[in-house]
Amino acid sequence: MLLSMIRFLRGYIKIRVSGYSPERFLNACSHKGICLWGLKPVRGAYEMYTDARSLKKMKAVLKKTGTKAEITGRYGLPFFLHRYRKRKVFFAGIFFCAALIYIFSLFIWEIDIEGNLRRTDEAILSFLDSEDVRHGMPVSKVDCSRIASRIREEYSDIIWVSASIQGAKLVIRVKENEDLSQEEPSADSEEKAEDSKKGTDLVADRDCTIVSIVTRNGIPAVKAGSKVKKGDILVSGRVEMKNDAGEVTGYRYREADADIKGEYIQQYENTVEREYPVKDYIKERNQPVKKSQWYLRIGPWTASLGSIENKYENCEYRAWEKDLKLGDSFILPVSFGEREVVPYKTHRESLTDEEIQQDLSRAFALWCEELEKKGVEIIRNDVKIYTEQKKASAKGSVTLQGEVAEKRDTEILPDPERETLETERENQNGND
């Protein structure tokens, strides 16, 4: 690669050597140190490449060996500049483009965020914008260490951040704490929760029958086979403290934690209209009618060519856009694209009984797949399809089994011992 660049900068030529004995010419060139490459036989002659400076040395060799050399091509920068030496505007354009590319390289034109799962790119970009980190900012003002530090301070669940500049692109890579939702509370956090007298209960989020309950923290209030209603406490976060006589002297509060599955019935209903609209794209001379508009976007400015205004009532808007970039990391703030409008008319068609049953069955199957992805098991299916003249419906009940618990703050009760002391004080004050 480096050798090819050197040859291009110096310039090289392609020659065809013919005569009585071109082999003598090749041996003589090798003896005199003349560099030749790309040698190949062509119709009783040889074609090869050599640099422009070696052409003068060949004259004596050609005369001595009785061969002839014909120049068939000139390549490289010197010949290119000589060929277009009178086109001043062309060279001015080259220098202008080089200067423009250099100026563009001084700014950040893309911010790429990798590794974020809980938060969207838009949320992180919005935070960066509040920190004056945005598209179009100078590269010299980008402080990668400060950006990484501010992101870690803002988002507690992000445990690792790196920021780097690649060409005109700012790349931010983050690592989120995947076990954040599964972390067990430490002893310090439990003490703080007890001191603040706060806790959470697990309550039923619907009417159901408890199938299984595995408690990890808290006091279970139901058992397998119990029928509960929405809002009933399943696991209490309030733990009673008793003395040797079995009397309740106080309470401790903690966060209830358990795996609770219940069986419940959920109604399903989906209706499909028998008639549906169909698009008929308007054609002229067997070609679809459409209006196109090309546009060029440079930063915040946009220049358009053509118009997409139309006189039709119904139409589709389509568009595509392509960014200009040099390599993968040097993205220019220049893009071009095309917008087009395709008009159409509509007419209505009717589904057959078989087609409408297939649509309803497909929709119900997708609904069941979504439930299974959430860990819900289908126990029994009583959904049926009812067809009418203008529509059809899938109705019925589905018996499901899955998680039925949700969190709710525990009701705080006064300690019995404290109530007794306050009552005694009130009685004593009354006697006095």
Which tops the pLDDT comparison, 29 or 55? 29
**Which DSSP symbol is given to 222?**
-
| Mean pLDDT (whole number) for 299-319 | 83
Structure tokens at 72: 């068939």
What pLDDT is stored for residue 414 in this prediction?
78
Helix segments in 306-415, DSSP class H: 353-373
Model pLDDT, residue 362: 94
In words, the CATH class of domain 2-83 is alpha beta
- Per-residue pLDDT tens over the stretch 67-107: 888 888 989 888 888 887 788 788 888 888 888 888 888 88
Domain 92-183 has CATH 3.10.20.310: yes
Please give the pLDDT value at position 324: 83
Percent of the chain predicted with pLDDT > 90: 28
- Dmax (CA) of the chain: 142
Residue 426: the pLDDT is: 61
Q: How confident is the model at residue 232 (pLDDT cuts 50, 70, 90)?
A: very high
**Which pLDDT value is given to residue 419?**
56
Res. 183: pLDDT tops 60: no
**pTM for this predicted structure:** 0.48
Q: In the predicted model, what is the mean pLDDT of residues 231-257? A: 85
Q: How far is CA 69 from the centre of its chain?
A: 61
User: Residue 185's pLDDT band (boundaries 50, 70, 90)?
Assistant: very low
Averaged pLDDT, 52-69: 84
Three-state helix/strand/coil letters over 83-131: HCCCCHHHHHHHHHHHHHHHHHCCECCEEEEECCCCCCHHHHHHHHHHC
Q: Is the pLDDT of residue 428 over 70?
A: no
Closest CA to 69 of 52, 91, 45, 102: 45
- Rounded to 5°, angle at Cα 183 from 178 and 189: 140
pLDDT band of 230, cuts 50, 70, 90? very high
Distance of alpha carbon 253 from alpha carbon 200, whole angstroms = 8
For 182, the token pair is 């599964």
Nearest-angstrom CA–CA distance, 124 and 246: 55
Which residues are within 8 A (CB) of 160 and not within 5 positions of it... i.e. 6 or more apart? 174, 175
Domain limits, CATH 3.30.70.260, in the chain:
2-83
Strand partners, 164: 171
**Strand 248-253, strand 405-409: pairing:** unpaired
Name the pLDDT band for 425 (thresholds 50, 70, 90).
low
Which stretches within 135-175 are classed as H helix?
A: 144-154
- Would you state the pLDDT for residue 269? 94
In angstroms, rounded to a whole number, what is the distance separating the alpha carbons of residues 156 and 98?
44
- pLDDT recorded at residue 179: 58
CATH 3.10.20.310 segments of the chain: 92-183
Residue 23 main-chain phi, psi, to 5 deg: -65, -35
pLDDT tens column, 384-424: 999 888 899 999 999 999 999 999 998 888 776 555 555 55
- Parallel, antiparallel or unpaired: strands 257-273 and 248-253: unpaired
